[in-house]
A and B are shown apart, each in its own frame.
Chain A
């Protein structure tokens, strides 16, 4: 589904990604971990197409297409979803209206007619139950005055509505208390199918107690320096990042 080859990217002249290689297949869950400043969120932003980042080399193939050649909205319509670390406020626009605009543009892209109000509402109710989100929240201005937990839950709700092929969750666990974490994780798990894939970007292994990854990768200085299964995450939890950093620094030196 997703093949990243030697991807390099910079921001304001500073190299952040120094050659990322990663393959994600349908049905898989990949966790990307790493210390602060290792390039985790940059990777998420580059895959989603944020303009602030300059691609310096490499390629990304997504369902047979050149991902880097697509505009951010085309990527979204083709099923790439980014759950934002810091969801953006849009005053005066309710989540409901926002999603209606989004869903209908995605549908149009796939040659499907716009959903009528009744079907849209029905779909909403169904997905609301998945992430245990309250309808009142969806009528409020998008993310405006939402608590940290509400914002993250709202991101997962949007994901449920848009049913992406590739979901990238950028530190969705940060700022969540244990109950919110459980709800968010449950939502993600329920949305998992054989045909879609998830990339979890996280600091902590805590999230991985709830969403069990097939692969864990450690990102450091813009490179994946170690990959393994979920036991790697436990190792990191226990020993921190230092041992792995040292290993990497020794190799590159």
Chain B
């Protein structure tokens, strides 16, 4: 209960609340990117040779690629030689228990509303926190270990479970998949790894908290989730960053592998710093997220609430390879001021009787641009495939934009694909109705927007739902005059 209160208290104040900067000594690589930097990162992580080779091949491939330009966003060119690709909080020996974590670091996480002690005691959420690219602490490890569940930092996984990492890394998002996934593969500094053995239902929500703290750093984390036959896991991801005038790059990769009858639910509340009201600074959030429903009857469900970042560009996707597998995508994307978002999903139906469902709710305010881009592809052998897509846009004011780019590509004549789209504005009569009952205009907007997004918010685990609701309200503060 006190955790809820803390969240509520934190979130009922206005403006970007995670804009603090913690004075934690960091150890970082020199600016810029070349093979030596890749080697430096790999050496820092004390990685085996194969991991280094994998990174180098990714780097070499990246050099041959051009930054894509097809997305409906504009931003100044990124100078990759001006980014620090590795920054780690200085801490000599890796902590064995939470008590050994640097107190300043822990204070940072307490500010974020994740108190490890409380997490441990109350909520049953296991947390892996990533600060400036490095995983700091993983709670609940022993408890999960009893079930054979592995939940640890990526670096640790490379050390402790090389055979699993080797088998699955790049299996869903190959090194050469796209510009940013190649970049990530070369320089990723840490992230989370999660393995659920056959037949195990993970008894608690697993959670990763990402935060960029140091200046001029990019954050390139990697998440790999492997769910073996008949297993289940629900995974949460949250992100914040301090307020800075310059743009910072966040290019993560998330890979999910689901074996036969496995189910993975992945929820994100993305609240990276969106930039100032005038559009200065903010995070570039260029993320590749993909899940492979490899086995028959498997299911992957993405839920995202995107309120932060100056520019968001991501499409959590599902490859429905197994027969009767299911892919879901539930998204709320809010843009205000000068934020831009180009987000959506891809559902690739390969197996027979595969089903997918897309519910996207875009909310634009201020001078922002909000695009839904989604692809539904039904391959030839995907008999009986079904897709239902619903894209709703809500506009606040008359200086913002909402765009929908659906791509539908059906090669099997027996597939059923449905797409529905609506665009609406918050009506003055709705606001007046709320006002007349005593509700102030800003609260009325929050109420109406939360109602609009309800279908997606309902998909979030309880722990995140309250926070996400408040976030929506905060993101839109000052958007109605």
Given contact pairs A76-B435, A90-B433, A106-B438, A51 touches B428 in the complex (Cβ within 8 A):
yes
Interface residue tally on B, bucketed by range:
20 to 34
B437 close to A90 (CB less than 8 A): no
Query: Given B429, B432, B438, B448, which contacts A93 in the complex, CB threshold below 8 Å?
Result: B448
Indicate if B452 sits at the interface (CB-CB under 8 A).
yes
Indicate if B430 sits at the interface (CB-CB under 8 A).
yes
Indicate if A125 sits at the interface (CB-CB under 8 A).
no
B447 close to A98 (CB less than 8 A): yes
Contact with B along A63-101 (1 / 0, CB 8 A): 000000001110111000110100111111100011101
Least CB distance from B73 to A in Å reads: 28
Indicate if B173 sits at the interface (CB-CB under 8 A).
no
A105 close to B429 (CB less than 8 A): no
Indicate if A109 sits at the interface (CB-CB under 8 A).
yes
Indicate if A31 sits at the interface (CB-CB under 8 A).
no
Indicate if B287 sits at the interface (CB-CB under 8 A).
no
B450 close to A93 (CB less than 8 A): yes
B439 close to A90 (CB less than 8 A): no
A162 close to B438 (CB less than 8 A): yes
Indicate if B436 sits at the interface (CB-CB under 8 A).
yes
B451 close to A90 (CB less than 8 A): yes
In A150-185, the 8 Å CB interface with B consists of 158, 162
B440 close to A73 (CB less than 8 A): yes
Q: Please, how many angstroms separate the alpha-carbon atoms of A81 and B372 in the complex? A: 41
Indicate if A48 sits at the interface (CB-CB under 8 A).
yes
A74: nearest chain-B partner, CB-CB: B438
A91 close to B438 (CB less than 8 A): no
Q: What B residues does A162 contact at CB under 8 A?
A: 437-438
Q: Please, how many angstroms separate the alpha-carbon atoms of A71 and B450 in the complex? A: 24
A92 close to B435 (CB less than 8 A): no
B432 close to A92 (CB less than 8 A): no
A91 close to B451 (CB less than 8 A): yes
B448 close to A90 (CB less than 8 A): yes
Indicate if A206 sits at the interface (CB-CB under 8 A).
no
Q: What B residues does A73 contact at CB under 8 A?
A: 435-436, 438-441
Indicate if B21 sits at the interface (CB-CB under 8 A).
no
Q: What A residues does B433 contact at CB under 8 A?
A: 84, 87-88, 90
Q: What A residues does B435 contact at CB under 8 A?
A: 49, 71-73, 76
Least CB distance from B80 to A in Å reads: 43
Least CB distance from B462 to A in Å reads: 15
Query: Given B429, B437, B441, B451, which contacts A92 in the complex, CB threshold below 8 Å?
Result: B451
In A80-132, the 8 Å CB interface with B consists of 81-82, 84, 87-93, 97-99, 101-103, 105-106, 109
Given contact pairs A51-B432, A98-B447, A92 touches B438 in the complex (Cβ within 8 A):
no
Q: Please, how many angstroms separate the alpha-carbon atoms of A92 and B469 in the complex? A: 13
B443 close to A105 (CB less than 8 A): yes
Indicate if A41 sits at the interface (CB-CB under 8 A).
no
Indicate if B453 sits at the interface (CB-CB under 8 A).
yes
Q: Please, how many angstroms separate the alpha-carbon atoms of A103 and B437 in the complex? A: 8
Q: What B residues does A71 contact at CB under 8 A?
A: 435
Indicate if A190 sits at the interface (CB-CB under 8 A).
no
Indicate if B425 sits at the interface (CB-CB under 8 A).
no
Indicate if B159 sits at the interface (CB-CB under 8 A).
no
Q: Please, how many angstroms separate the alpha-carbon atoms of A236 and B443 in the complex? A: 44
B429 close to A88 (CB less than 8 A): yes
B457: nearest chain-A partner, CB-CB: A92
Q: Please, how many angstroms separate the alpha-carbon atoms of A95 and B443 in the complex? A: 15
Least CB distance from A127 to B in Å reads: 14
B437 close to A76 (CB less than 8 A): yes
Least CB distance from A142 to B in Å reads: 8
Q: Please, how many angstroms separate the alpha-carbon atoms of A72 and B439 in the complex? A: 9
A105 close to B451 (CB less than 8 A): no
Query: Given B429, B430, B436, B450, which contacts A82 in the complex, CB threshold below 8 Å?
Result: B436
Q: What A residues does B428 contact at CB under 8 A?
A: 51
Q: Please, how many angstroms separate the alpha-carbon atoms of A141 and B450 in the complex? A: 12
Indicate if B166 sits at the interface (CB-CB under 8 A).
no
B447 close to A72 (CB less than 8 A): no
Indicate if B205 sits at the interface (CB-CB under 8 A).
no
Query: Given A48, A84, A92, A97, which contacts B452 in the complex, CB threshold below 8 Å?
Result: A92
Q: What B residues does A76 contact at CB under 8 A?
A: 435-438
Indicate if B454 sits at the interface (CB-CB under 8 A).
yes
A45: nearest chain-B partner, CB-CB: B432
B438 close to A109 (CB less than 8 A): yes
A48 close to B447 (CB less than 8 A): no
Q: Please, how many angstroms separate the alpha-carbon atoms of A51 and B441 in the complex? A: 13
Given contact pairs A77-B438, A88-B427, A162-B438, A50 touches B432 in the complex (Cβ within 8 A):
yes
9 new A-B pairs (CB below 8 Å) besides A88-B433, A105-B443? A75-B436, A88-B427, A88-B429, A90-B451, A98-B437, A101-B443, A102-B438, A105-B439, A162-B437
What are the 10 tightest A-B residue pairs by CB atom distance, in nearest-first order?
A92-B451, A93-B451, A92-B454, A102-B437, A72-B435, A76-B438, A88-B433, A106-B438, A73-B435, A77-B438
Cβ contacts A to B, 10 pairs, < 8 Å: A49-B435, A50-B432, A73-B436, A73-B439, A73-B441, A87-B433, A90-B448, A92-B452, A92-B454, A109-B438
Interface residues of B (CB under 8 A from A): 427-430, 432-441, 443, 447-448, 450-455
Interface residues of A (CB under 8 A from B): 48-51, 71-73, 75-77, 81-82, 84, 87-93, 97-99, 101-103, 105-106, 109, 141, 158, 162
